[in-house]
Amino acid sequence: MSREGAAVGRLAQRRRLVRLFAFGAVAVLAVVAFSYFHLWRPEGTGPAGPTVPRAAFSKVWTTRRVALVGLGDSVTAGFGASRRHSYFDRLVMNPPDEFADMRSVCLSAVLPHLDVVNLAVSGSTSLDHIDIVRDRLKPQDPDTIGLVVMTSGGNDIIHNYGRTPPREGAMYGATLETARPWIAAYEQRLSAMLDEIATRFPGGCHVFLADIYDPTDAVGDAEHAGLPAWRDGLEVHRAYNDVIRRVAGRRSFVHVVPMYAEFLGHGIHCTQFWTDHYRPNDAHYWYADNLEDPNDRGYDAIRRLFLIEIAKIAHELAR
């Protein structure tokens, strides 16, 4: 082979190596990008959720006796939260490692005569909650005012993760038509539950009922979180939240805590900047590995949402 031919051969080989390297680099970047945008769910650090107005917690709200009661499912029970970092615990008292903006922002700082009981049960559904209210929520003295914080209905929707045929209280995978009677029953059950709660507080009460968040960020693709596909999942979920808002709207003592809206963009699509609910200031995942409960930052956000709503009725507690 001539010297010129050898040079041409070496040049061609270098070009092939460059093309191969470029192809490999593109493939690696594609894998990294896919993993980041579709598989990785970074949780982030630091405070999460809305800012709570500190001024509302700068003085005592009332010297009356106040009973804080937790009712509902694992979100209120604090399943998976670090010690003293559930939303319920942080409503009552700040943990030792509290964020600077939330120090002394808790109910024990403004309610000196606060009694606390959490009757929430992990894994429970609204069918259980009506029985818990009737059997375990004790009548209070007329001089006690009640603050009830509550999450109910989420497990009705997500259980049993499609592993069993849909039924009331475990409707995952149901069509909207199949679920309609169960949704109607939930409305009746929730109404009865709230009215039962009111009877336990002759001195008056306020119920703070969270609506139900959506780990799919309103996309409805639970299959991307490892669950079976559910065609009507978003519609069933929407119907349950409609019930919560409708039932609360009929009762002046019930206040909806907007958990659904606050958690949008913090589910399984949290890193996807092209989606409708992307949160550029906190593009992080607020859920635990089981998809149905929050992580510690999620619990922080929920605590803030409840405190904001509770503070709105502070002036009524002194009556």
Question: According to the model, what pLDDT value does residue 61 have?
Answer: 97
Question: According to the model, what pLDDT value does residue 5 have?
Answer: 60
More confident residue, 89 or 12: 89
Count Cα neighbours of 201 within 13 Å in the Cβ-side half-sphere. 21
Is the same domain home to 21 and 52? no
CA distance readout (Å), 4 to 1, 7, 10, 17, 205: 8, 5, 10, 20, 94
Candidates 138, 111, 152; CA nearest to 201 is 138
Phi, then psi, of 2 in degrees rounded to 5: -70, 165
DSSP 3-state percent helix, strand, coil across the chain (nearest 5): 45, 10, 45
Percent of the chain at pLDDT > 70 equals 87
For residue range 216-270, what is the model confidence (pLDDT) as tens digits?
Answer: 999 999 999 899 999 999 999 999 999 999 999 999 999 999 999 999 999 999 9
Is the same domain home to 263 and 313? yes
Work out the average pLDDT over 197-224: 97
CB-based contacts of 53: which residues, under 8 Å, 6+ apart? 308, 311
Question: According to the model, what pLDDT value does residue 19 have?
Answer: 58
For residue range 38-56, what is the model confidence (pLDDT) as tens digits?
Answer: 556 899 999 999 999 999 9
Confidence band, pLDDT 50/70/90 cuts, at residue 107? very high
Is the same domain home to 118 and 21? no
Work out the average pLDDT over 74-98: 97
Work out the average pLDDT over 126-131: 98
Which structure tokens are listed for 273?
């900047």
Question: According to the model, what pLDDT value does residue 22 have?
Answer: 44
Percent of the chain at pLDDT > 90 equals 84
Question: According to the model, what pLDDT value does residue 23 have?
Answer: 47
Is the same domain home to 11 and 115? no
For residue range 270-290, what is the model confidence (pLDDT) as tens digits?
Answer: 999 999 999 999 999 999 999
CATH of the domain at 178: 3.40.50.1110
d(CA 197, CA 139): 9
d(CA 42, CA 28): 20
Number of compact structural domains in the chain: 2
Is the same domain home to 135 and 54? yes
Domain with 33, as residue range(s), is: 1-40
Task: Tell me the average pLDDT of the chain.
Answer: 91
Question: According to the model, what pLDDT value does residue 195 have?
Answer: 98
d(CA 43, CA 45): 7
Is the same domain home to 35 and 60? no
Please tell me whether residue 250 adopts helix, strand or coil conformation: coil
CA distance readout (Å), 302 to 109, 163, 234: 19, 29, 22
Instruction: Judge whether residue 12 has pLDDT over 80.
Output: no
Instruction: Judge whether residue 120 has pLDDT over 80.
Output: yes
Is the same domain home to 71 and 113? yes
Confidence band, pLDDT 50/70/90 cuts, at residue 9? low
More confident residue, 40 or 302: 302
d(CA 304, CA 300): 6
Is the same domain home to 35 and 168? no
Helices assigned H by DSSP within the chain: 3-34, 74-77, 87-92, 126-136, 154-158, 176-199, 233-249, 259-263, 296-311, 314-317
Question: According to the model, what pLDDT value does residue 14 have?
Answer: 63
Is the same domain home to 311 and 227? yes
Is the same domain home to 156 and 262? yes
| Residue corresponding to tokens 């639970």 | 222
Is the same domain home to 214 and 252? yes
CA 107 and chain centroid, separation: 21
Put simply, whether the predicted model's pTM sits higher than 0.95 gets the answer no
Q: Which residues of 13-48 are buried (b: 16+ CB within 10 A; e: fewer)?
A: eeeeeeeeeeeeeeeeeeeeeeeeeeeebebeeebb
Is the same domain home to 14 and 151? no
For residue range 159-199, what is the model confidence (pLDDT) as tens digits?
Answer: 999 999 999 999 999 999 999 999 999 999 999 999 999 99
